[in-house]
Structure 1
């Protein structure tokens, strides 16, 4: 029987074991459920599903308005051919395949082909190709890994990026480029003994992917993702989400495959569970979100994945269009949020529109992990109310909590889903692990309820983002930011300033959909800031509300609303929507100084004073 909260019929119950970590204050946590068996690689799962139902759709993307779909059987056949062709061109474990273009059918087929043949795949952010002027990061990545070939779906769109990689053989699937091969040629290759032998020799410890962290300075780090990491992590997730064993999921997803959330968590979930992924060319920004609505109307998902910026666009659209809401919720089992905590107010509105539309709430869940952990380490597979909850350790994951500054702990991780290190950087690899072999994540967490370990952990932010005020008061940026965005839904995101200052201030971005709903229109920009009398009155009152229930470390006294969006090319934001706090503050130092000027400058919102 389904439970009233819609959770217990979907998820395994949380069971957590604890032990002393060895050093004062340390705590070890793990699931009481042992990790079950898992295949050598996720492409072994692909072959198994192709044998069960070869015509079942694996992936689909829009092409000239219609959906281009590839089945499991066709995907395996194409992957075998591409894998043979790549081996014929001398790619192998030491000569990876570099992928420049974004999510799509052809991107998936070349990825599967390389993985079938034991060739590591290195997908990089599309922004490095299409938004960069000097393409320095692409050249740095190519110089680090020495790719045997580079793939780009569209020769014309990626012309400048391909020009930046002279001497590396190129494969394209659309358009023409001198000396570049067409993907269709590779797909027409007859699979031979080489690819069969390579597949038979695949090892759990072989490198499946090299994923690059989205650091704001210097060359990106190449995180080694082994076949064991990817296959084990999917088994871990399925043990927490047992419904994946009896229902083939359908998702409509935009999250980039150059990141672990989209490329490992979501894509591999479809492959491992026999599901179908519909590629969403939309993004959680006003100019592109209409495409997302169109796609979700065409294909109602059974699971929906997004980041808070995406839900900030989705919820107003659901509230405004009952027909769209009915379609979206028609077969939805759960909503998954990642990258940052989903503000409580937004979560409440999502629950309300679901209740109004289908007569029940849709479970909202989340997880926590990193590029280095393939990615899921913890999962909130139980009801929770704190927006910062990241759940309990998944089966097979060992978590060590190490006391950090303030009232939280650094979370460290060990298990089969953890990377062996960074490509070509033994120095970084050595520094990333402690003496017990736990990966140092740099993230801060705390027990949701010290008396009940099954209540899980709450995320307290990046340790590197936290700071102290001039008074010595410690500010947990992640916790303050989450509450601020919940109290002020007209903001889509924010960063906090205040290190060595007398109080905390914030720089924020406007949620255009919320602004139109609350103000009857979208305020216009004046230079670097959005200056609008009614908006500023609303924000001043909201800051006062936030501060009324906050301690000294969580009060936000001033705020500016930025007219220019966070820059992906400058490293202020990743292409999955996660804000780089330190980078924003550094690039906008003049505006930070403005927040602390006296008297209060025009354009700066000061918290309304209450008597």
Structure 2
């Protein structure tokens, strides 16, 4: 890690060097085909290090038995509880034996609760028993009234085991699953057992003496052994179980680890992460990388959401991460906190080598604020990296593995990845991916599997991309929108939602946290906007101002209208010109799916749940929460609910 050569101030932060990070060189093979398609391949040969994921824990339990693998706050005081690698292997073997004794070979192990030490042990034990792990987003169990989607998932997979952290907390969901036909699942809980509903206490399973069947089961793991299923809803909302074999997981891990020319020292490898293990980034990339590096994964019970992010900040006051990952809205909240707390900022940047973002483009203003802070505390800019992919690609297939001030890049292919670009128009291409880390398909859904791949075996991503510099493809690809999100105005003009949303958030920085684009089958483009709390509270002079109070502030509305009119001057065409916006007064709801548990805004769900707001936006009557960009601002009175 390089030391700063001289101090820098916020005024010349852009000239500060990037912190030295051992990225691989960009070396991409470019195949141009007669049909106009382009195939990009990383020339670095992929080297898979392990036969399967349980081998990672086995190695670390021998080489680093006393090092903490997992840590989580527990008890009334919230002290960190640690599980060491050596102890973890013993627990994993005991739970593996318990699973094998159920005599349900190949049947899945379903986890309804979130990230926990017990969940981590069970994940490896299920793989050793060759019983696919199925981590379910907890909201399906905790927020639903009829549990219809959860029951459809369980009906598809027929789990042998259902694990919950607290049986009492998940009692309604467990009772709903008991109504399904077929062999009943064994319910295992860590705490709060419910008589007649929870069958086994986790503590008892970890104390099961392992027999020779454990080693025999591990020896029978092959690259084609199904390691886990991860659910993705797709555009239809119908749950699909993405099959992940050991080949998929080990190749995805190798692809990610080979982006650096050397591995971090286990002594420096502390990871604080909240991303759910029911999703591919947290459950695969983060979870498996910590095992490979012999580091410690501090499970962050915070989230990038109001009232929940304080827990993340509490943890960051104790832990200086080597690499940090979050979603753009989380980074905006982090910037607010670091600008107000010098001590927290100093600790956060002390060891930091990279910051990763996913789920959406990082706004330029948030990037600038964080780099200003980085230079103030280290003398260097910190490289921001990002990956592009999907659950089906394990996760990222493209990555930004070089220092750059440009955000919104998809990157370039990992080692072992082929990216096919199929022309959509003069500048954009449809992205398709082929690699050993791509899923073999959806469980028991052959038609959906066939439709997901083209005739060459490339997975259809459904996204558009363009070259940063068409004359130099080594500069990488830019995300150019979700093809399915694009819509037409009544004039027939296409609106590219992904690109417009990015332009708009940048134009309105730092006053807007996120935006949802509207206008399908209407005459003009509009947007639903969430004010950015930190900068807006400072603007209105009220450190506790609510979204509603900010939206009603004449000073804020004037700032927003100025920025919107500047955007329209720069983008006068009807596909990008914003005619009107509505200021949302309630945060995006994670409970209702407006913010996914990965922390980014789901445009489709917001438009569905807030259809009344969209109708009000296009109403001929004037409403106080609607700003007409081409008209004079109206006073923030007579607010319509």
Same fold (TM over 0.5): yes
Tell me, in whole angstroms, the C-alpha distance in 2 between the residues paired with 1:43 and 1:230: 11
Tell me, in whole angstroms, the C-alpha distance in 2 between the residues paired with 1:125 and 1:210: 12
Whether the 8 Å contact between 2:551 and 2:557 is mirrored in structure 1 is: no
Match of 2:582 in 1: 560
Offset at residue 333 of structure 1 (A): 0.9
Distance 1:21 1:473, change over 3 A: same
Match of 2:47 in 1: 36
Distance 1:9 1:309, change over 3 A: closer
Whether the 8 Å contact between 2:290 and 2:297 is mirrored in structure 1 is: yes
Tell me, in whole angstroms, the C-alpha distance in 2 between the residues paired with 1:524 and 1:69: 38
Whether the 8 Å contact between 1:91 and 1:97 is mirrored in structure 2 is: no
Match of 1:512 in 2: 533
Match of 1:467 in 2: 487
Tell me, in whole angstroms, the C-alpha distance in 2 between the residues paired with 1:300 and 1:136: 42
Q: Tell me if 1:502 matches 2:523.
A: yes
Q: Deviations over 1:500-537 (max 9, x none)?
A: 3333211122322232122222554669x943323222
Whether the 8 Å contact between 2:53 and 2:124 is mirrored in structure 1 is: no
Secondary structure of 1:464's aligned partner:
helix
Q: What are the within-5 Å matches in structure 2 for residues 321-332 of structure 1? A: 321-332=341-352
Aligned length: 607
Distance 1:241 1:473, change over 3 A: farther
Tell me, in whole angstroms, the C-alpha distance in 2 between the residues paired with 1:367 and 1:505: 30
Tell me, in whole angstroms, the C-alpha distance in 1 between the residues paired with 2:572 and 2:261: 41
Q: What are the within-5 Å matches in structure 2 for residues 194-593 of structure 1? A: 194-215=213-234, 218-244=237-263, 246=265, 249-404=269-424, 407-488=427-508, 489-521=510-542, 523-524=545-546, 530-552=551-573, 553-593=575-615
Larger mean Cα displacement after TM superposition, 397-406 or 2-11: 2-11
Q: Tell me if 1:192 matches 2:206.
A: no
Whether the 8 Å contact between 2:112 and 2:164 is mirrored in structure 1 is: yes
Q: Deviations over 1:229-260 (max 9, x none)?
A: 11111111111123435555221111111011
Match of 1:147 in 2: 159
Offset at residue 192 of structure 1 (A): 1.3
Match of 2:94 in 1: 81
Offset at residue 7 of structure 1 (A): 5.7
Tell me, in whole angstroms, the C-alpha distance in 1 between the residues paired with 2:169 and 2:190: 12
1:605 to 616, 619, 627: 627
Secondary structure of 1:365's aligned partner:
strand
Secondary structure of 1:298's aligned partner:
coil
Whether the 8 Å contact between 1:252 and 1:278 is mirrored in structure 2 is: yes
Match of 1:161 in 2: 173
Offset at residue 42 of structure 1 (A): 1.9
Distance 1:21 1:67, change over 3 A: farther
Secondary structure of 1:242's aligned partner:
coil
Q: Tell me if 1:53 matches 2:69.
A: no
Q: Deviations over 1:271-330 (max 9, x none)?
A: 122121101111111211111101011111111010011111100100111011001111
Tell me, in whole angstroms, the C-alpha distance in 1 between the residues paired with 2:548 and 2:50: 57
Tell me, in whole angstroms, the C-alpha distance in 1 between the residues paired with 2:546 and 2:348: 32
Larger mean Cα displacement after TM superposition, 292-301 or 385-394: 385-394
Larger mean Cα displacement after TM superposition, 207-216 or 440-449: 207-216
Whether the 8 Å contact between 1:496 and 1:504 is mirrored in structure 2 is: yes
Match of 2:6 in 1: none
Match of 1:62 in 2: 73
Q: Tell me if 1:177 matches 2:194.
A: yes
Tell me, in whole angstroms, the C-alpha distance in 1 between the residues paired with 2:605 and 2:225: 35
Q: Considering only aligned residues, what root-mean-square deviation do their CA atoms show, in Å?
A: 2.1
Offset at residue 551 of structure 1 (A): 4.9
Secondary structure of 1:281's aligned partner:
coil
Secondary structure of 1:287's aligned partner:
coil
Whether the 8 Å contact between 2:279 and 2:391 is mirrored in structure 1 is: yes
Match of 2:637 in 1: none
Offset at residue 452 of structure 1 (A): 1.2
Tell me, in whole angstroms, the C-alpha distance in 1 between the residues paired with 2:479 and 2:401: 16
Tell me, in whole angstroms, the C-alpha distance in 2 between the residues paired with 1:549 and 1:609: 18
Tell me, in whole angstroms, the C-alpha distance in 1 between the residues paired with 2:226 and 2:594: 30
Larger mean Cα displacement after TM superposition, 236-245 or 194-203: 236-245
Whether the 8 Å contact between 2:540 and 2:553 is mirrored in structure 1 is: no
Q: Tell me if 1:101 matches 2:113.
A: yes
Larger mean Cα displacement after TM superposition, 287-296 or 237-246: 237-246
Offset at residue 215 of structure 1 (A): 4.6
Tell me, in whole angstroms, the C-alpha distance in 2 between the residues paired with 1:212 and 1:411: 22
Offset at residue 474 of structure 1 (A): 2.6
Whether the 8 Å contact between 2:251 and 2:436 is mirrored in structure 1 is: yes
Tell me, in whole angstroms, the C-alpha distance in 2 between the residues paired with 1:490 and 1:386: 21
Whether the 8 Å contact between 1:442 and 1:464 is mirrored in structure 2 is: yes
Larger mean Cα displacement after TM superposition, 293-302 or 472-481: 472-481
TM-score normalised by structure 1 residue count: 0.95
Q: Deviations over 1:368-412 (max 9, x none)?
A: 111001101011011223321121100000100112267421110
Tell me, in whole angstroms, the C-alpha distance in 2 between the residues paired with 1:472 and 1:461: 19
Tell me, in whole angstroms, the C-alpha distance in 1 between the residues paired with 2:296 and 2:477: 31
